[in-house]
Chain A
Amino acid sequence: MSVLIDANTKVICQGITGSFGALHTKGCYDYGTKMVGGVTPGKGGTKDDNGLPIFDTVQGAVDATGADATMIFVPPAFTADAIFEAVAAGIRVICAITEGVPVQDMVKVRKVLDDHNAVAGPNKKIYLVGPNCPGVITPGPKTGSGKSHDDPYTNAGCKIGIMPGYINTHRSESKLGKNVGIVSRSGTLTYEAVWQTSNLGLGQSTCIGIGGDPVRGLGFIDCLELFENDPDTDAILMIGEIGGTDEEAAAEWYKTNGSKPIAGFIAGRTAPPGKRMGHAGAIISGGSGTADAKIEKMTECGFEIAETPADMGGAVARAMKLEAAAV
């Protein structure tokens, strides 16, 4: 088990012929993801370097391949339209990797998505991850070198996005036989956390990069709920950063609804107010969105806090009360 995606998820890439789209389509395909095709208007009927079929429209790709997930690499000006197209075609999991999408586009996207999900049946719900995110990975046990699709890294995992796959560990190959679910607003900080937890002997059920933009798809609460209900997730690590109040809201949610051990880290303790720290959403404004306020609320709601980014694995171990010897 896992959340959002697994070995059976069939994935397409919107923007498959662009340089990033092509690079990461190959990365996912070589990892072992069931890549079934891609979309670039005007290139329908051709194939990419991996031999994957290219379609003019998402609907065309879905009709021909049965794809239920997509990763979007189109330029920011066209990202909202790409998401709308995926929604219209009934794609279940949409990962928008693109950075730099206008906020007002995302306000409209969220309205359309929320309206869809409000009336959708339980199996028709659409999950948007991102934009400005690394994507989602559900690791599988290592079965090959991962250097080509003929020798994939795993035949039982799914990677949708730009993250390195090999740093993740499947439960069956973890020393402690336990899984942590990771949700994060930052890409490389997620890799850091995956690395640390893997080194501690833990596996990961699923890692979700929700992205660094102020208005986005899945939020922390959505992901905590997914992990809470996933029998394959033993503990949760939530990695936030300055800006907004999503971490505080998620901490409140956990206090009422959470039962699994949880650890957290907030990036940006030293960030000056009013300055945007790389991510569009990482800004302290009008005295709200500070790291201290988030950490205080998370501590109060039962999170084990990582004091530094080097301590994220350690915080998970403390939350899970792992034996010192094992760590």
Chain B
Amino acid sequence: MKIHEYQARDILSNAGVPVPAGTVIENVETAASTYKQVSKEAGTDLVVVKAQVFAGGRGKAGFVKLVRSPEAAEEAARFMFSNKMVNQQTGPDGVECKKILMAAGVDIEKEFYLSITTDRATRRNILIASAEGGTEIEVVAESNPDAIIKEPIHPLMGLQPHQARRLAYRLGFKGKQVSQAVKIMIALDTVFREKDCELAEINPLIVTPASQDHPDGQVLAIDAKFGFDGNALFRHKDIAALHDPSEDNANELKAQKFGLSYIQLDGNIGCLVNGAGLAMSTMDIIKHHGGEPANFLDVGGGASEEAVTEAFKIILDDEGVEGVLVNIFGGIMRCDVIAQAVVNAAKQVGFNVPLVVRLEGTNVEEGRKILQDAQSEIPTMQAADDLGDAAQKVCGAVAGA
């Protein structure tokens, strides 16, 4: 689960990580007054106006603006609230901006990158740090892999101060910056483990220029990104409450309610499969035979009539779908039961596009007979002999239609 930047800022701030002054607004009327408040609090006329949407590329799209007056703040906010942000990441429909973060602008002496994630290969959390902050870590990994430091974190003890100190010195923090950086690293690890994160990232982490109050500068988190383990939300009601449903795909949500795992893609052949691995490879075999998968759909081990009916509805709701492939390996669930469920569901939903059904497993002969007997009632339906045959049949039917 993802959260917005302003929510990530709150989490960091509550964990003791310093962030620049800032406030969230939900309408353009409060923009000017909020500018004044943030500006006064931080003692600077420079304020950053940032649209709170999940898509990247906000700056280029005009959804992040630097302003130096209440009027400019209001103008920027008006633009963001009244236009949809459209770029490659958002797709042609664009995304609506409902909240704007107004944060104090700060002078930057140096930028760093800091994140924690779980490393699958070592089965541990690792801290990833780089003195080349401000750019995406993938870009740094490509251009200058030596600039990335990876530190394994003890699964039971967490990040130890001595590790954080060593990292801070290696990254080039100086004087009083070191203890500030150490505190931030420890706080990030604490949040990561306590809140079951998949990713906790501060980018950039910055050092401000020396000032009278801070002769060594201040270490601040400017932007942060968090991802949470959906499987652990049951024990984090506070995190679950941060979820923004406006960014979800309606069909994917609907599928979830019926225990289906569904991801909409942009191809022309819908598929309904039991099991995630088989569902993924069914997409692959459709592509192999010249079609384009319209979705990933794992109906679960049972493939009950209710689940199949809902799955059909969701698949056919996608206007791009020109044919449907059902691929079920009947293990614990017998093929005759599944065939009956598919036939009943297909009748209930009504099929105008080609439907190819491939069943294998327990009682497969009985299952195929049920499909054959229902042929007259569902004229667009064909039974397939095996997986390869099924993919060829559905791709052929769609190409010939």
Q: A192: shortest Cβ distance to chain B, in Å?
A: 6
Contact B118 A188 (CB under 8 A): no
Report the separation of the CA atoms of residues A98 and B286 in the bound assembly, to the nearest whole angstrom.
Answer: 30
Name the B residues within 8 Å of A163 (CB-CB).
Answer: 331
Contact B332 A103 (CB under 8 A): no
Name the A residues within 8 Å of B361 (CB-CB).
Answer: 164, 167, 191, 195
Report the separation of the CA atoms of residues A268 and B388 in the bound assembly, to the nearest whole angstrom.
Answer: 16
Report the separation of the CA atoms of residues A295 and B229 in the bound assembly, to the nearest whole angstrom.
Answer: 29
Contact with B along A69-107 (1 / 0, CB 8 A): 000000011000000000000000000000011111111
On chain A, which size bracket covers the interface? Answer: 35 or more
- Within 8 Å by CB of A239, from B229, B277, B362, lies B277
Contact A245 B280 (CB under 8 A): no
Name the A residues within 8 Å of B274 (CB-CB).
Answer: 188
- Within 8 Å by CB of B332, from A105, A162, A282, A308, lies A162
Report the separation of the CA atoms of residues A241 and B298 in the bound assembly, to the nearest whole angstrom.
Answer: 15
Contact A102 B155 (CB under 8 A): no
Q: B324: shortest Cβ distance to chain A, in Å?
A: 17
Task: Given A102-B196, A188-B278, answer yes or no on A195-B283 (Cβ-Cβ < 8 Å).
Answer: no
Contact A104 B280 (CB under 8 A): no
- Say if the beta carbon of B121 comes within 8 Å of chain A: yes
- Say if the beta carbon of B60 comes within 8 Å of chain A: no
Report the separation of the CA atoms of residues A105 and B234 in the bound assembly, to the nearest whole angstrom.
Answer: 13
Name the A residues within 8 Å of B284 (CB-CB).
Answer: 267-270, 291, 308-309
Contact A270 B287 (CB under 8 A): yes
**Which of A46-54, A255-263, A271-279 forms part of the interface with chain B?**
A271-279
Contact with A along B378-393 (1 / 0, CB 8 A): 0000000011100100
Contact A246 B121 (CB under 8 A): yes
Name the A residues within 8 Å of B286 (CB-CB).
Answer: 270
Contact A184 B329 (CB under 8 A): no
- Say if the beta carbon of A130 comes within 8 Å of chain B: no
Task: Given A246-B121, A270-B284, A287-B138, answer yes or no on A108-B198 (Cβ-Cβ < 8 Å).
Answer: no
Contact A309 B332 (CB under 8 A): no
Contact A192 B124 (CB under 8 A): no
Name the A residues within 8 Å of B331 (CB-CB).
Answer: 162-164, 167, 188, 191
Q: Which residue of A lies closest to B276 (CB)?
A: A278
Report the separation of the CA atoms of residues A311 and B274 in the bound assembly, to the nearest whole angstrom.
Answer: 19
Report the separation of the CA atoms of residues A208 and B100 in the bound assembly, to the nearest whole angstrom.
Answer: 50
Contact A309 B387 (CB under 8 A): yes
Q: Which residue of A lies closest to B330 (CB)?
A: A164
Name the B residues within 8 Å of A282 (CB-CB).
Answer: 276-277, 280
Report the separation of the CA atoms of residues A84 and B138 in the bound assembly, to the nearest whole angstrom.
Answer: 37
Interfacial residues of chain B within 184-214, with CB under 8 A of chain A in the complex: 193, 196, 198
How many chain-B residues does the 8 Å CB contact rule pick out?
A: 53
Task: Given A164-B332, A309-B282, A310-B388, answer yes or no on A192-B362 (Cβ-Cβ < 8 Å).
Answer: no
Contact B329 A162 (CB under 8 A): no
Q: B360: shortest Cβ distance to chain A, in Å?
A: 6
Contact B120 A246 (CB under 8 A): yes
- Say if the beta carbon of A185 comes within 8 Å of chain B: yes
Name the B residues within 8 Å of A267 (CB-CB).
Answer: 277-278, 280-281, 284
Main secondary structure on chain B at its contact with chain A?
mixed
Name the B residues within 8 Å of A246 (CB-CB).
Answer: 120-121
- Say if the beta carbon of B288 comes within 8 Å of chain A: yes
Interfacial residues of chain B within 288-339, with CB under 8 A of chain A in the complex: 288, 293, 296, 298, 301, 329-332
- Say if the beta carbon of A286 comes within 8 Å of chain B: yes
- Say if the beta carbon of A253 comes within 8 Å of chain B: no
Contact B285 A309 (CB under 8 A): yes
- Say if the beta carbon of B162 comes within 8 Å of chain A: no
- Say if the beta carbon of A110 comes within 8 Å of chain B: yes
Name the A residues within 8 Å of B281 (CB-CB).
Answer: 189, 265, 267-268, 308-309
Contact with A along B248-281 (1 / 0, CB 8 A): 0000000000000101010000000111111111
Name the A residues within 8 Å of B246 (CB-CB).
Answer: none
Name the B residues within 8 Å of A7 (CB-CB).
Answer: none
- Within 8 Å by CB of B118, from A77, A186, A215, A239, lies A215
- Within 8 Å by CB of B280, from A191, A241, A311, lies A241
Contact A102 B360 (CB under 8 A): no
- Say if the beta carbon of A321 comes within 8 Å of chain B: no
- Say if the beta carbon of B231 comes within 8 Å of chain A: yes
Name the B residues within 8 Å of A102 (CB-CB).
Answer: 196, 229, 231-232, 235
Q: B139: shortest Cβ distance to chain A, in Å?
A: 10
Contact B277 A308 (CB under 8 A): no
A-B contacts, 15 of them at CB < 8 A, read A27-B332, A76-B234, A104-B118, A107-B155, A162-B332, A246-B121, A268-B281, A275-B296, A282-B277, A286-B141, A308-B281, A308-B288, A309-B282, A310-B285, A310-B388
Q: Which residues of A contact B (CB under 8 A)?
A: 23, 27, 76-77, 100-108, 110-111, 114, 162-164, 166-167, 184-192, 195, 212, 214-215, 239, 241-246, 249, 265, 267-272, 275-282, 286-287, 291, 307-311
Q: Which residues of B contact A (CB under 8 A)?
A: 118, 120-121, 123-125, 137-138, 141, 155-156, 193, 196, 198, 229, 231-232, 234-235, 261, 263, 265, 273-288, 293, 296, 298, 301, 329-332, 360-362, 386-388, 391
